């Protein structure tokens, strides 16, 4: 699967994987700040941004295979720092589990190791059907947008929210449905966390209240993010203030600082 991607900057490589239903432009702040020191590679995962949107179910493992194929194509077979936000974090965890030799370090932003509960998986299927019936991304945007940003982002930066609404709306309905079905069937990787041997940074937005399609058990509470970091032997955890689920967009200064501080410990 050919992925659209950005590849810019000097120095050691950092791969950044976006969330759902977003695209690689969510890393634009990090591309300019972190990217002044590191080579940042940011792909559009399948079905998102400018990458192809095939039919079928987009499993997290297939997305991880796409990223490995991209890195192989760039002849980057040495261990790299790979980070992801939310869905991108599920993909990064898939790489950690299935391609551990490709990892130098891991960054997990606004994400979780557990899979969907049966109720959450059913809610995703209902949403996938709504998106297919509507022929538009709107049902998923309506369900997700209120949960992606902190309250102060809605109040102080409505233009940011409007911009991301517009970008999400460009995602093709079949890609949204395929991704929802893939997310619903992703494996629970909690038991694998103690085997992650590389340094890991776990970041949580102080106001992340991720709830999808009314499935309240999908909230990612801070406790869960802290527990994930505790289960990984060499992990550090940080909370990003004034940010919800999309901390690299909402409080990029604090997110960049946390990422840069972590990267400095690696070289």
How far apart CA 201 and CA 184 sit, in angstroms, is: 25
17 part of the interface to ligand MLT, by CB under 6 A: no
Span 230-259, contacts to ligand MLT by CB under 6 A:
245
How far apart CA 43 and CA 36 sit, in angstroms, is: 18
How far apart CA 194 and CA 92 sit, in angstroms, is: 15
183 part of the interface to ligand MLT, by CB under 6 A: yes
Q: What's the closest the beta carbon of residue 107 comes to ligand MLT, in angstroms?
A: 15
86 part of the interface to ligand MLT, by CB under 6 A: yes
Count of residues engaged in binding ligand MLT, rule: CB under 6 A:
8
210 part of the interface to ligand MLT, by CB under 6 A: yes
179 part of the interface to ligand MLT, by CB under 6 A: no
- Residues facing residue 205 across a β-bridge: 240
Which residue from 3, 112, 113, 13 is spatially nearest to 67, judged by alpha carbons? 3
Residue count of the chain, please give it.
Answer: 267
Between residues 86 and 97, which has the closer beta carbon with respect to ligand MLT? Answer: 86
Measured at the CA of 21, the angle between CA 18 and CA 25, to 5 degrees, comes to 45
20 part of the interface to ligand MLT, by CB under 6 A: yes
Between residues 9 and 248, which has the closer beta carbon with respect to ligand MLT? Answer: 248
212 part of the interface to ligand MLT, by CB under 6 A: yes
Between residues 149 and 262, which has the closer beta carbon with respect to ligand MLT? Answer: 149
Residues 6 or more apart whose CB falls under 8 angstroms from that of 61 comprise 94, 98
3-class state of residue 41 by DSSP: strand
Span 88-147, contacts to ligand MLT by CB under 6 A:
none
Q: What's the closest the beta carbon of residue 11 comes to ligand MLT, in angstroms?
A: 28
Q: Are 236 and 229 in contact (CB under 8 A)?
A: yes
Q: What's the closest the beta carbon of residue 266 comes to ligand MLT, in angstroms?
A: 25
Q: What's the closest the beta carbon of residue 139 comes to ligand MLT, in angstroms?
A: 14
175 part of the interface to ligand MLT, by CB under 6 A: no
Which residue from 6, 74, 75 is spatially nearest to 40, judged by alpha carbons? 6
Q: What's the closest the beta carbon of residue 97 comes to ligand MLT, in angstroms?
A: 17
Indicate which single residue of 14, 82, 87, 177 sits in contact with ligand MLT (rule: CB under 6 A).
Answer: 87
Token reading at 23: 């695209």
Give just the sign of the alpha carbon dihedral 161, 216, 16, 46. Answer: negative
34 part of the interface to ligand MLT, by CB under 6 A: no
Maximum distance among all Cα pairs of the chain, rounded to whole angstroms: 50
Query: Interface with ligand MLT by CB under 6 A: which residues?
Result: 19-20, 86-87, 183, 210, 212, 245
């Amino acid at each position: 699967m050919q992925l659209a991607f950005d590849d810019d900057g000097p120095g050691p490589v950092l791969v950044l994987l976006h969330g759902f239903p977003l695209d690689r432009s969510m890393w634009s702040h990090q591309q300019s700040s972190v990217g002044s020191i590191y080579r940042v590679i940011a792909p559009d995962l399948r079905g998102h941004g400018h990458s192809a949107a095939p039919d079928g179910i987009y499993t997290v493992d297939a997305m991880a295979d796409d990223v490995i194929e991209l890195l192989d194509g760039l002849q980057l077979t040495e261990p790299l720092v790979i980070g992801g936000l939310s869905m991108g974090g599920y993909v990064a965890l898939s790489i950690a589990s299935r391609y551990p030799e490709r990892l130098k370090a891991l960054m997990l932003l606004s994400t979780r190791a557990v899979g969907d509960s049966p109720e959450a998986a059913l809610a995703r299927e209902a949403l996938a059907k709504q998106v297919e019936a509507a022929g538009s991304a709107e049902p998923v945007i309506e369900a997700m947008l209120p949960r992606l940003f902190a309250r102060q982002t809605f109040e102080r930066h409505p233009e940011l929210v409007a911009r991301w609404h517009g970008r999400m709306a460009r995602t093709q309905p079949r890609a949204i449905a395929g991704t929802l079905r893939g997310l619903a069937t992703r494996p629970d990787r909690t038991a694998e966390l103690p085997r992650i041997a590389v340094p890991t940074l776990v970041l949580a937005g102080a106001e992340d209240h991720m709830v999808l399609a009314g499935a309240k058990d999908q909230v990612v509470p801070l406790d869960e993010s802290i527990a994930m970091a505790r289960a990984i032997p060499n992990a550090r955890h940080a909370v990003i203030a004034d940010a919800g689920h999309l901390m690299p967009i909402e409080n990029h200064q604090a997110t960049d600082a946390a990422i840069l501080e972590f990267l400095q410990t690696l070289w």
